[in-house]
Amino acid sequence: MIPVQGFEGQAVAVLGLGRSGLATVRALLAGGATVVAWDDGPHASDIAEAEGIILRDLTKPNAFEDIACLVTSPGIPHIYPQPHPAIAAALLAGVPVDNDIGLFFRSLAEPDWDRFDQLPRVIAVTGSNGKSTTSALIAHLLTEFGRDVQLAGNIGRGVLDITPPEDGGIVVLELSSYQTELARSLTPDVAVFTNLSPDHLDRHGGLGGYFAAKRRLFAEGGPDRCIIGVDEVEGQMLANQLAQSPADDRVISISSGRKLTGPGWSVFARKGFLSEYRKGRQIGTIDLRAVPGLPGAHNHQNACAAYAVARTLGFSPRQIEGAFQSFAGLPHRSQTIAEAGGVRYVNDSKATNVDSAKQALRAFPNIRWICGGLEKEGGLAPLLEASGNVVKAYVIGREAAHFAMQLKGIEAEICTDMSRAVARAREEAQPGDTILLAPAAASFDQYNSFEQRGDDFVSIIKDLLGEAPA
């Protein structure tokens, strides 16, 4: 646990008592604060009360009279589409609003760090797609190199729930826009921006607000090194704003699909090969095609980001290449489940938006595509440009018929549920085909989460192939 500093003897309110909220309460108490908390759900409140946490309805009048700070869980809106009533009350009362990420950064450094030979470091990863795989890959590389690594934030453990890092320890944080937009303190040593595509637009008041939330990690965080994906104009603008000159190697540009030139520091992947250039000279290259845990161009971008992080920490290209080979990938992200009868089964349930699904469609040949669910804003038209590898689509979800109607030029069968979709895809698959779950939609019309959706896909495949579930 990271005890929260700066609130000893003061009253702090916590809104939201899920995993991060409960960890926040415990960390505040450990730092000497008095805590009152609230959750709109009775179940969460019952759990908190059983733990001895003092409950206070923060939506009631005068709830913030004695409160020094309100700490809110990431999923609770504070501006758009409209603020939660408790946050609105805190704003009117002039009470600072923060989240657990802000508390983490203000509380991480300890006085006894003076005894360390190597200060602990924080690597923070944000972006629209690939940040989970990138974060996990960075943690994997550093673990392979013998470093003491903890993975936290939007993946792994809550940030305040980790163990205080020791001499030379590294904390790798995956940070969503919900987390970066509100944190009052953001001070990573190394920060990564993978890419940007439209997502969570209602929460951020549009694409500009979404990008602004990501940008805060760099503009306000002041990291020593910035690793920026420049395949979109937002990343190009961010890299431009952070660099003092074209040769400023505090900014490392990364790309998947095009060669980066110039006097600065860059890492890019083309046709399956990663290349590192510095001051106009190539100083490293890796063949990514033979890395089983990183299939497709989108994973090659993730590899470029993780490679750049490892290079900033002093590790050699050959060390990184060796560690890449043992990376197994993450569940629900281009995860090969099985290969049988010449057919590959791939679970990319995390492809919850059009851009991430588009990347998955480009990663495999001869795709029998299982798609559909709770459709997000913007429609499906951008997927069509990446549909050349699709043999047929098998559409699931409550609105499967509407989803299928948008797949112009793609043969589509309305299956509605996962069992029928997998069964039909398997019946029609030929050797060399890939049965790919890449929904391009949220899961909440039929499942509680993308993880549950992916687990259902995996379970059905195991049953059909006669394998015991892992």
Quick check: 244 pLDDT over 50?
A: yes
As a dihedral over the C-alpha atoms of residue 309, residue 312, residue 313, residue 316, rounded to 10 degrees, the angle is 90
Asked if residue 421 and residue 369 are part of one domain, the reply reads yes
Q: Is the pLDDT of residue 469 over 50?
A: no
CATH code for the domain in which residue 446 is found:
3.90.190.20
49-58 residue pLDDT tens: 888 999 999 9
Answer whether residue 314 shows pLDDT above 90. yes
Question: Both 94 and 164 in a single domain?
Answer: no
| 15 and 146 fall within a common domain | no
- Domain total in the chain: 3
185 & 167 share domain:
yes
pLDDT of the residue at 297: 85
Residues 6+ apart with CB under 8 A from 316: none
Q: Is residue 247 part of a domain?
A: yes
Residues in Cβ contact with 196 at an 8 Å cutoff, skipping those fewer than 6 apart: 127, 128, 210, 211, 214, 232, 234, 235
pLDDT at 246 over 50: yes
- The verdict on 257 and 155 lying in the same domain is yes
> Distance of CA 386 to CAs 44, 179, 270, 365, Å?
43, 31, 18, 12
Q: Measured between alpha carbons, how far is 135 from 345 in angstroms, rounded to an integer?
A: 24
Of 98, 117, 150, the position where a domain reaches its end is 98
The rounded Cα 77 to chain-centroid distance in angstroms is 19
Q: What is the per-residue pLDDT for 176?
A: 95
CA-nearest of 163, 444, 402, 191 to 305 is 191
Quick one: pLDDT band at residue 442, thresholds 50, 70, 90? very high
Whether residue 11 has pLDDT greater than 70: yes
Least confident of 12-16, 44-48, 253-257, 323-327: 44-48
Taking 80 as the threshold, does the pLDDT of residue 16 lie above it?
A: yes
Q: Please report, in range form, the residues annotated as the binding site for ATP.
A: 127-133
- Tell me if 6 is assigned to some domain: no
Residues 292 and 403 in one domain: no
Whole-angstrom distance, CA of residue 415 vs CA of residue 430 = 19
- 106-133 average pLDDT score: 92
What mean pLDDT do residues 408-412 have? Answer: 95
Shared domain check, 218 and 71: no
- Whether 444 shows a pLDDT value over 70: the answer reads yes
pLDDT at residue 467 in the model: 64
Contact in structure between 64 and 76 (CB atoms under 8 Å): no
pLDDT greater than 50 at residue 470: no
The domain boundary, picked from 98, 127, 156, lies at 98
Q: Give the Cα separation of 47 and 298 in Å (integer).
A: 40
Question: Residue 361: inside a domain, yes or no?
Answer: yes
Kindly state whether residue 469 falls inside one of the protein's structural domains.
no
> Domain range holding 63?
11-98
Pairing, β 335-340 against β 343-347: antiparallel
**b/e per residue 436-456 (b: at least 16 CB within 10 A):** bbbbbbbbeebbeebeebbbb
143 and 269 together in one domain = yes
CA distances from 162 to 23, 29, 149, 170 (A): 10, 15, 11, 11
pLDDT attached to residue 379:
85
- The label of the residue with tokens 């499906």 reads 380
In a shared domain, residues 242 and 164: yes
DSSP codes, 294-315: S-HHHHHHHHHHHHHHHHHTT-
Residue 449 DSSP SS3: coil
Provide the residue count of the chain. 470
What is the residue-averaged pLDDT of the chain? 94
The pLDDT tens digits for 261-299 are: 889 999 999 999 999 999 999 999 999 988 888 988 889
- Residue 289 and residue 386 in one domain: no
How much is the pLDDT for 371?
97
Q: Tell me what the mean pLDDT of segment 401-409 comes to.
A: 95
Residues 166 and 141 reside in one and the same domain: yes
Query: Which residues are documented as binding site?
Result: 127-133
In the chain, the percentage of residues whose pLDDT exceeds 70 is: 99
Q: How confident is the model at residue 110 (pLDDT cuts 50, 70, 90)?
A: confident
- Around 407, how many Cα atoms within 13 Å sit in the side-chain half-sphere? 28
Which run of H or of E encompasses 142?
helix 131-144
Task: Output the pLDDT for position 92.
Answer: 96
Quote the CA–CA distance of 329 and 94 in Å, as a whole number: 45
2 within a domain of the structure (yes/no): no
Distance CA 226, CA 414 (A): 45
CATH number at residue 234: 3.40.1190.10
- The residue out of 98, 130, 162 marking a domain boundary is 98
pLDDT over 90 for what percent of the chain?
83
Closest by Cα among 71, 62, 58, 59 to 10: 71
pLDDT tens digits, 189-208: 999 999 998 888 889 999 99
- 396: nearest Cα among 364, 435, 369: 369
In a domain, 4, yes or no: no
Does residue 385 sit in the same domain as residue 303? no
Say if residue 431 is preceded by a cis peptide, omega within 30 of 0: no
- Whether 468 shows a pLDDT value over 50: the answer reads no
Say which CATH number the domain at 68 has. Answer: 3.40.50.720
Average pLDDT over residues 77-103: 96
Q: Which of 8-12, 40-44, 95-99 has the lowest mean pLDDT?
A: 40-44
* Closest residue by Cα to residue 76 from 18, 126, 23: 18
Alpha-carbon distance 271 to 259, whole Å? Answer: 11
For every residue of 39-76, which 3-state class applies, written as one string? CCCHHHHHHHHHCCCEECCCCCCCCCCCEEEEEECCCC
Residue (of 396, 407, 376) closest to 457 by Cα position: 396
Lowest mean pLDDT among 142-151, 246-255, 374-383: 374-383
Neighbouring C-alpha atoms within 13 Å toward the C-beta of 437: 37
Predicted confidence at residue 275, as pLDDT, reads: 97
**CA atoms of 277 and 261, how far apart (whole Å):** 8
